[in-house]
């Protein structure tokens, strides 16, 4: 049994937690951009594309996160497509957040008053301007609570990619546990780090929701 | 091409894995339903001694990943002297997790019940137990059925994490069969379809119930309006 001081454990886990959070910007950017595109495609019922988008969203929402990780990391190499663990993490996190966010944005598009669409058409705004200037800002405001909720989900899901070898907080905590044999301490600290970030976000999301109701 | 012989050969394994997933989901589903209902009712009583721990528990469950909770139960409890088999750890972790989410759903349902229902039961001289069991909870469960169903469909997806503890459920089986056969399409395709069918069943059920509820609400309000006009 090796002695690792409490402070040492916390600082090692804090550094590892930065790796978890580092996934967020790119995953969110992909999720929001493609999510909006898929939502618009489904909203306008573009033939073929909208069916494909629906199948994609439903298949991803129907399968467990871990299963998608396994398919990409262990399944695809047999077909000659190889990703390392970090690429796998980015791909899987992006795919899932895209699917969930596109559903969020679709409900947002449906929630915007019909008059807004008609008014922008009446003003002669083209498709691009109609969405970027009129519709999407409103959609963003309506869906903000759910977007924050999705951020929390993504942060929590980063723990699962530890299973394919991404060096992040849960993997580091397992290594520490194997040295110290004090699981409650190691995993307790990990839980605290997640709570430190996620709890304020959840409260923020609830507050936004209340503001939208008013 | 799909290798159907391989699928046939491993079908019993896939089915036993499916049965394992169903067992874990059912057991944790039942426990979490009881836990969630009790916590939901308790949190409505507004005693600080009860409310603060429940709030802390809910905050903990919601803001930390299920995988960490699973590790805490599986590796943490033995450190406290409670020895667990992997299956038991999984059930405990999933029940606590889903129980917390269900308690919030139940609390929301209880809040949505009209105050008149409590007052009427009191006027009828019903005891608190009878009020809850015979009057309030049946209405609550009718209302919260759709969110409960989607919570259970999340639970089934979450049970895939039991693979981490080497419990032979669907995800674990997919991984182990793919590593022995080197056939990823068959060994991941069959489990994906299994999960997808379960997901579709649950989401269709939830939609049907939601529509039925909307219809009864409409009919009821229609009746009311009809009566008013008659008056």
Q: By residue range, what is the domain housing residue A17? A: 6-213
How many domains would you assign to chain A?
Answer: 1
User: Where exactly are the structural domains of chain B?
Assistant: 4-230
DSSP per residue over B55-114, as a string?
HHHHHHHHHS-HHHHHHIIIIIHHHTT----HHHHHHHHHHHHHHHHHHHHHHHHHHHS-
Q: How many CB pairs under 8 A join A and B?
A: 130
A positions 35-64 inside 8 Å of B (CB): 58-59, 61-64
Residue A1 covered by a domain: no
Contact partners, residue B33, CB within 8 Å, separation at least 6: B99, B102, B148
pLDDT band, very low/low/confident/very high, at A3 (cuts 50, 70, 90): confident
Give the global pTM. Answer: 0.90
Neighboring chain B residues of A162 at a CB cutoff of 8 Å: 67
Residue carrying structure tokens 């994609």: A56
Asked whether the predicted pLDDT for residue B229 surpasses 70, the reply is no
Find chain A residues with C-beta within 8 A of B159's C-beta: 64
pLDDT tens-digit readout, A45-95: 999 999 999 999 999 999 999 999 999 999 998 888 999 999 999 999 999
Rounded to two decimals, the ipTM of the complex is 0.91
Q: What is the pLDDT of residues B184-216, one digit of tens each?
A: 888 999 999 999 999 999 999 988 998 988 888
Which pLDDT band, with edges at 50, 70 and 90, does B230 fall under?
very low
The answer as to whether A41 is a domain residue is yes
Residue B97 reports pLDDT greater than 70? yes
Q: How many CB atoms lie within 10 A of CB A39?
A: 24
Q: What's the pLDDT score for residue B70?
A: 96
Model pLDDT for residues B33-54, shown as the tens digit of each residue: 999 999 999 988 878 888 999 9
CATH superfamily of B4-230: MetI-like (1.10.3720.10)
Measured in angstroms, the CA of B169 and the nearest CA of chain A are apart by 12
Residue A130 lies in a domain: yes
- The first and second tokens of residue A62, run together, are 């129907």
User: Which of B178, B196, B198 lies at the smallest CB-CB distance from A75?
Assistant: B178
* Chain B residue numbers touching A182 (CB-CB < 8 A): 79
Contact partners, residue B137, CB within 8 Å, separation at least 6: B37
How far apart (Å, rounded) are the C-alpha atoms in residues B103 and A144?
25
How far apart CA B8 and CA B1 sit, in angstroms, is: 15
Residue A137, chain B, CB below 8 Å: the answer is: no
């Amino acid at each position: 049994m090796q002695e690792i001081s409490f402070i040492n454990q916390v600082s090692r886990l804090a550094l590892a937690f930065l790796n978890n959070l580092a996934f967020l910007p790119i995953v969110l950017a992909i999720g929001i951009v493609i999510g909006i595109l898929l939502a618009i495609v489904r909203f306008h019922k573009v033939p073929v594309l909208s069916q494909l988008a629906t199948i994609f969203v439903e298949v991803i929402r129907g399968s467990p996160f871990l299963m998608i990780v396994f398919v990409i990391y262990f399944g695809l190499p047999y077909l000659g497509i190889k990703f390392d663990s970090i690429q796998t993490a980015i791909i899987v996190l992006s795919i899932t957040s895209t699917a969930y966010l596109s559903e969020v944005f679709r409900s947002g598009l449906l929630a915007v008053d019909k008059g807004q669409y008609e008014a922008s058409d009446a003003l002669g705004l083209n498709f691009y301007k109609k969405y970027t200037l009129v519709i999407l800002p409103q959609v963003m405001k309506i869906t903000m609570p759910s977007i924050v909720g999705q951020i929390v989900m993504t942060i929590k899901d980063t723990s699962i990619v530890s299973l394919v070898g991404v060096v992040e907080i849960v993997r580091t905590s397992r290594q520490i546990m194997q040295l110290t044999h004090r699981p409650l301490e190691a995993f307790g600290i990990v839980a605290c780090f997640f709570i430190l970030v996620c709890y304020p976000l959840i409260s923020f999301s609830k507050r936004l929701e209340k503001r939208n109701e008013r | 091409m799909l290798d159907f012989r391989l699928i046939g050969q491993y079908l019993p394994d896939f089915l036993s894995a499916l049965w394992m997933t169903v067992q874990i989901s059912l057991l944790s589903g039942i426990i979490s339903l009881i836990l969630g209902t009790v916590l939901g009712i308790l949190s409505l009583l507004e005693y600080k001694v009860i409310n603060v721990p429940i709030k802390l528990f809910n905050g903990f469950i919601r803001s930390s990943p299920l995988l960490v909770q699973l590790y805490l139960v599986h590796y943490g409890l033995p450190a406290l002297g409670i020895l667990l088999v992997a299956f038991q750890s999984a059930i405990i972790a999933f029940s606590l997790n889903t129980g917390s989410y269900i308690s919030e759903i139940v609390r929301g349902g209880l809040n949505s019940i009209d105050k008149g229902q409590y007052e009427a039961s009191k006027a009828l001289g019903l005891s608190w137990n009878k009020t809850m069991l015979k009057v309030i909870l049946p209405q609550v469960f009718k209302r919260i059925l759709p969110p409960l169903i989607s919570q259970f469909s999340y639970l089934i997806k979450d049970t895939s994490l039991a693979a981490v503890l080497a419990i032979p459920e669907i995800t674990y089986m997919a991984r182990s069969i793919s590593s022995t056969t080197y056939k990823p399409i068959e060994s991941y395709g069959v489990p994906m379809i299994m999960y997808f069918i379960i997901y579709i069943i649950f989401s269709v059920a939830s939609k049907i119930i939601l529509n039925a509820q909307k219809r009864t609400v409409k009919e009821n309000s229609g009746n009311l309006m009809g009566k008013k006009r008659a008056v």
